[in-house]
Chain A
Amino acid sequence: METITDTDKTVRVDLDESSVRDLNQFLHHDLAASGVKHIEVLNPNGRHNIAVGVDAPVSVDIRGHAGYFIGGMNKQARITVHGNVGWSVGENIMSGSIRVKGNASECAGASGHGGLVVIEGDASSRCGISMKGCDIVVGGSVGHMSAFMAQLGTLVVCGDADAGLGDSLYEAVIYVRGTIKGLGADAREEPMGEEDYARVAALLDKAGFDHDPKAFKRVASARTLYHWNADHHQEY
C-alpha cells in the first residue's frame, strides 16, 4: 500500500488515503513478514470494521473516532481507539485487548470469548451482551440490559448500571461500583468474597483504574432459569 509509511517499525495508515479493506488486508497478510509491531491508523472518521480479524501480537492505535465492530474477533493484538466508537467494539474478541479512550455505543464486547475490553468512558446499552469468557472494564457507566445472556467472563462497571442489568445471565459475573438502577430476570446481587475482591483488583489493575475493590457489588445468576420450567413437572 503506497499510502502506508514505515517509520522505525511503525506503520501509519491514513484512512483518508487508503481504504479500510487495504488496512485489514495488510493486517491479515503482510504484517507477519514485515516485522512491524506498531500500526497507527489516522483519520478513522467513524469508519466501520477497522482492524477486524487481526491475529498478531502487535499494537494498533486508532487516532480518532471510529464506527462499528472495531477490532472485531481480535486475537493477540492490543488495539487502542483514541476517541469514541460505535456499536459492538471488540465483538467476539478471542484474546488480546481493545481499549477505547472515549465512550462506546451499544453492545461493547458482544459475545467476546476471551481477552480484555476497556472502555475508559461510558458504554451504552447491552454492554457485554452474550459474552463468553472475555473481561470488560468500563470506567464510567453502562446502559440498560448490559451483560444480557452473558455466559462467561467478567464485566466490571466503575460507574452506574442502568435497568435490566444481567438479564438471563449464565455464568458471567458483574461487578458494579455505583448504583444499579435495576436487575434483569434471574440476576441477583450476591455478597462479595475474597475471590471477588481479588478478581476486581486484578482487572482494575490491568485496565489502569485506581478504585477500591471493596466499593464494588457482585451480580450473578440466580440460576432459576437454567432448567426449563423445572417446577412444572414436564417430563422431558
Chain B
Amino acid sequence: MSKPTDKPVYIEPNYTYGDATLHYIQQAAEHGLYEIRGLGAKRRVPTFDDLTFLTASASRYPLEGYREKCETKTVLGTRFAKKPIELGIPITIAGMSFGALTAQAKDALGRAAGELGTSTTTGDGGMTPEERRSSKTLVYQCLPSRYGFNPDDLRQADAIELVVGQGAKPGGGGMLLGQKISPRVAGMRTLPEGIDQRSACRHPDWTGSDDLAIKLSELRELTDWQLPVYVKIGATRVKNDVKLAVAAGADVVVVDGMQGGTAATQQVFIEHAGIPTLAALRQAVEALEEIDKVGEVQLIISGGIRSGADVAKALAMGADAVSIGQAAMMALGCNARHYHMNGRLVDATDDYAAIGTAPGYCHHCHTGLCPVGIATQTPELEKRLDVDWGARRVKNYLQTLTMELTTLARACGKSNVHNLEREDLAALTIEAAAMAKIPLAGTDWIPGHNGY
C-alpha cells in the first residue's frame, strides 16, 4: 500500500469522460438499456437569454410603463376557419395528456388559462370532461396514436391541432409506462391496464404532405370549416416542414424546439435530436416570409419559453404566440420543494430523495412517482395537488409573463405586443446572432451574412 505523500495533489479533470459521462456509461453497463425520462433537453444551447432588447431612447420614444395601453389580444386561425379563436394573451398552454398529468392538474391549467383568456390543449390521451369544462378555449390534438379520438369531442373543441411531431422527440412517438396506465387511462386509450404503452410515431391514416392536405380537409369537413386547424411539428428541417404544413392547409403552424418537454422519452432522443427553439423560430419565420404567408398563417413557438422576456423576444422575432408546457407545470409546483395540502405547505424533499433525485432536478414524470402530485396517476400522490391553489399559481404566472411582456413592449414604444420587431433585438453571443439572424450587439454582424 502506498504511503501518503507531501507533494501537492493535482486531480486532473477529464472533459471527455466527466461525471455525467461516467454515470451514463455505468448506468448503461448495469442495465443494458437507454434511460427514459421526462421534461426536455437540459444541455446548454443558445436561447432567448442570448438576445437583449434595444429599448427606446432618443431615437425612439417609449410608452408610459404603467398607464398607456399595450394590447395583448391574439387571434389565431384567420386563414380558413370560420371561427378563429381570440385569446386575451399570446401565451397558450401546450398539449399535455391526461395520463401524463392528473385530471386535477389539467383542471387547474384550464381554469388558470380561462381567467387570462387563453387556451389549453389536450394531449395523447383524449379529452377529459373535466378539461372541457374548465378550459374556456380548448385545442383538441389529433395525434398518431388516436387514443380516445372521436367526432363528438372534435365537435366540442375550439380548435384542432394535428400533431406531426414534438420538439422533445421529433420523429418519435410517446411513451407512458405501466404504472401510469390506471383503469381510467387504460379505458380512454383502449389499452390493457398496466402495460408499458408506446404510441405510434406516424399517423395511421396518412403518410406524406400530399396526404396531410387531404387529412386536414377531412378534419375541416367534419367540423364544417368552423375550427382553426393547427399543424404542430418538432423542429428539425423547419423551413421545409413549415412550408409543407402551410401547403397542406394549416391555419396555424406550431413549431416545437428541442427544449420542448415530454412525459417520457429516451434521454438520447431528448438531448440529441432537433434544433434549438431560437434557431427553429427564425427558420419558421423565414419559411412564411418566403411563401408570403406572414400574417395569413399564424405561428406559435414552443420549447423552453419561461419568462415574459422569452415571450417578448419570440414575438419580436416573428411568432404570433408562444406555447408553454414545462413552465406551466413548474408554476403548478413541479420541482418545488413543497406541495400544498389542507392549507399548509408540506416538505417533499424525502419523496424526491426516495426516487433518487432532489427538488430542482426531478424529471420522473415517466415513473408516475411525482412527489408533488402533478405527473402521476397514483391516487395518493394526486391528492398533493390542490386544484384551487395550483390554478391560482398558474394564473399568477401567466399574469406575470404578460406584465413582463407588456413592460418590454412599452419600453420599445409598442402599443401592441405584436408590433415588437426584429429591429428591437440584439444578440449577445455569436451563436445566437447566427441562429436568430439578429446582429451581434454593438455590431451589424450576423454570421454568414454580408459575405462573412
In the assembled complex, A34 has its CB within 8 A of some CB on chain B: no
Main secondary structure of the interface of A (DSSP, over half): loop
With A49-B221, A171-B192 already in contact, the answer to whether A130 and B31 are too (CB < 8 A) is no
Q: Which of B175, B205, B225 contacts A87 (CB 8 A)?
A: B205
**CA A20 – CA B224 in complex, angstroms?**
11
Q: Which of A52, A55, A133, A170 contacts B218 (CB 8 A)?
A: A52
Q: Which of A28, A113, A126, A236 contacts B190 (CB 8 A)?
A: A113
CB pair B190–A68 under 8 Å, yes or no, is no
With A20-B221, A229-B33 already in contact, the answer to whether A151 and B151 are too (CB < 8 A) is no
With A28-B224, A55-B151, A152-B190 already in contact, the answer to whether A72 and B178 are too (CB < 8 A) is no
Q: Find residues 179-236 in chain A having any chain B CB closer than 8 Å to their own CB.
A: 226-229, 232-234, 236
Report the minimal beta-carbon distance from B16 to chain A, rounded to whole angstroms. Answer: 27
**CA A148 – CA B367 in complex, angstroms?**
27
Report the minimal beta-carbon distance from B187 to chain A, rounded to whole angstroms. Answer: 11
CB pair B150–A113 under 8 Å, yes or no, is yes
- Chain A interface: which size bin? 35 or more
Q: Find residues 59-105 in chain B having any chain A CB closer than 8 Å to their own CB.
A: none
Report the minimal beta-carbon distance from A43 to chain B, rounded to whole angstroms. Answer: 18
In the assembled complex, A10 has its CB within 8 A of some CB on chain B: no
CB pair A234–B179 under 8 Å, yes or no, is no
**CA A4 – CA B215 in complex, angstroms?**
26
In the assembled complex, B18 has its CB within 8 A of some CB on chain A: no
Q: Which of A88-96, A116-124, A156-164 contacts B (4 or more CB under 8 A)?
A: A88-96
In the assembled complex, B296 has its CB within 8 A of some CB on chain A: no
Closest to A94 in B: B150
CB pair A129–B204 under 8 Å, yes or no, is yes
B-contact bits for A86-120, CB 8 A (1 contact / 0 none): 01100110100000000000010011010000000
List of B residues within 8 angstroms of A21 by Cβ = 221, 225
Report the minimal beta-carbon distance from A153 to chain B, rounded to whole angstroms. Answer: 9
Q: Which of A20, A88, A170, A232 contacts B205 (CB 8 A)?
A: A88
List of A residues within 8 angstroms of B211 by Cβ = 68, 87
CB pair A110–B224 under 8 Å, yes or no, is no
Interface centre among B32, B145, B218, B222 (most CB of A within 10 A): B218
With A24-B221, A87-B205 already in contact, the answer to whether A49 and B214 are too (CB < 8 A) is yes
In the assembled complex, A175 has its CB within 8 A of some CB on chain B: no
List of A residues within 8 angstroms of B222 by Cβ = 24, 52-53, 72-73
Q: Find residues 117-169 in chain A having any chain B CB closer than 8 Å to their own CB.
A: 126, 129-130, 132-133, 148-149, 151-152
**CA A87 – CA B204 in complex, angstroms?**
10
**CA A88 – CA B215 in complex, angstroms?**
10
CB pair B178–A228 under 8 Å, yes or no, is yes
CB pair B214–A132 under 8 Å, yes or no, is no
**CA A107 – CA B211 in complex, angstroms?**
12
In the assembled complex, B196 has its CB within 8 A of some CB on chain A: yes
List of A residues within 8 angstroms of B198 by Cβ = 228
Report the minimal beta-carbon distance from B208 to chain A, rounded to whole angstroms. Answer: 11
CB pair B178–A236 under 8 Å, yes or no, is yes
**CA A232 – CA B151 in complex, angstroms?**
41
In the assembled complex, A67 has its CB within 8 A of some CB on chain B: yes
CB pair B218–A68 under 8 Å, yes or no, is yes
Report the minimal beta-carbon distance from A168 to chain B, rounded to whole angstroms. Answer: 8
In the assembled complex, A37 has its CB within 8 A of some CB on chain B: no
**CA A48 – CA B366 in complex, angstroms?**
40
Q: Find residues 182-236 in chain B having any chain A CB closer than 8 Å to their own CB.
A: 189-192, 195-196, 198, 200, 204-206, 211, 214-215, 217-218, 221-225
A-contact bits for B160-194, CB 8 A (1 contact / 0 none): 00000000000000010111000000000111100
**CA A99 – CA B196 in complex, angstroms?**
35
Report the minimal beta-carbon distance from B174 to chain A, rounded to whole angstroms. Answer: 13
A-contact bits for B131-146, CB 8 A (1 contact / 0 none): 0000000000000011
Q: Which of B179, B195, B221 contacts A52 (CB 8 A)?
A: B221
Closest to A23 in B: B221
**CA A29 – CA B221 in complex, angstroms?**
12
In the assembled complex, A75 has its CB within 8 A of some CB on chain B: yes
Closest to A172 in B: B190
List of B residues within 8 angstroms of A94 by Cβ = 150-151
CB pair B149–A88 under 8 Å, yes or no, is no
In the assembled complex, B154 has its CB within 8 A of some CB on chain A: yes
**CA A48 – CA B213 in complex, angstroms?**
11
Report the minimal beta-carbon distance from A187 to chain B, rounded to whole angstroms. Answer: 16
**CA A77 – CA B222 in complex, angstroms?**
15
List of B residues within 8 angstroms of A129 by Cβ = 204-205
CB pair A111–B146 under 8 Å, yes or no, is yes
List of A residues within 8 angstroms of B200 by Cβ = 130, 149
**CA A68 – CA B198 in complex, angstroms?**
27
With A73-B222, A75-B151 already in contact, the answer to whether A227 and B178 are too (CB < 8 A) is yes
CB pair B192–A132 under 8 Å, yes or no, is no
CB pair A228–B205 under 8 Å, yes or no, is no
CB pair A228–B221 under 8 Å, yes or no, is no
List of A residues within 8 angstroms of B149 by Cβ = 92, 111
CB pair A53–B151 under 8 Å, yes or no, is yes
CB pair B205–A227 under 8 Å, yes or no, is no
List of B residues within 8 angstroms of A53 by Cβ = 151, 221-223
List of B residues within 8 angstroms of A149 by Cβ = 200, 204
CB pair B218–A69 under 8 Å, yes or no, is yes
List of A residues within 8 angstroms of B189 by Cβ = 151
User: What are 10 of the A-B contact pairs (CB < 8 Å)?
Assistant: A20-B221, A21-B221, A75-B151, A87-B206, A88-B204, A91-B204, A92-B146, A226-B195, A227-B195, A228-B36
Question: In the complex, given contacts A72-B222, A133-B190, what are 15 additional A-B residue pairs having Cβ atoms less than 8 angstroms apart?
Answer: A21-B221, A21-B225, A24-B224, A48-B214, A49-B214, A52-B218, A53-B221, A55-B151, A88-B204, A92-B146, A129-B205, A149-B200, A149-B204, A152-B190, A228-B177
Question: Can you list the 5 inter-chain pairs with the closest CB atoms, starting with the nearest?
Answer: A228-B196, A88-B205, A53-B222, A130-B204, A110-B205
